[in-house]
Structure 1
Amino acid sequence: MRDDYDFSKGVRGKFYQPDASHNFPIYLEAEVLDYFSKRAESKGVDVNSLVNDLLKRDIELIEGVK
């Protein structure tokens, strides 16, 4: 690394995108992933869709109890 860096020609926010979305990885335990993979395959959907649908239903249940 250099001792000094020249940022005088830098542009603040050049790559900032306010509407950008971020996908965060979620790590499932092996047996949980195996279960949902088999379930998703039997339903003909991908694992992401299956898990998202289940989590959305859980959120609805939690919010309904409040």
Structure 2
Amino acid sequence: MKKEYNFSKGIRGKFYRPRKIQKTIRLDQDVLQFYQRMAAANGIPYQSLINLTLRKFLAEKGELVLKP
């Protein structure tokens, strides 16, 4: 191993690719409370639980129903 390395031509973050993005979404209060309760019961962050739900929907190629 060298005593010193020259990073003068290095590019910060060249190989870094964020796995997740931060995005604001609007949720109804009862929906948020549901996910917060379920997440607390399972010991995970509620944002992760929402992401898991959306990922499962995506994997199953679910159809979106817009009528209540």
- The alignment's TM-score, normalised by the length of structure 2, stands at 0.58
Give the total of aligned pairs: 45
Which runs of 5 or more structure 1 residues have no equivalent in the other structure? 1-18
Give CA deviations for 1:2-61 in whole Å, capped at 9, x if unaligned.
xxxxxxxxxxxxxxxxx6775220111000001000000000000111010110000001
* Inter-partner Cα distance in structure 1 for 2:49 and 2:27: 14
CA RMSD of aligned residues (A): 2.0
Name 1:62's counterpart in structure 2.
61
Instruction: Judging by fraction of residues, say which structure has more helix.
Output: 1
Which runs of 5 or more structure 2 residues have no equivalent in the other structure? 1-16, 63-68
Larger gyration radius, structure 1 or structure 2:
1
Name 1:26's counterpart in structure 2.
25
State the percentage of identical aligned residues: 22
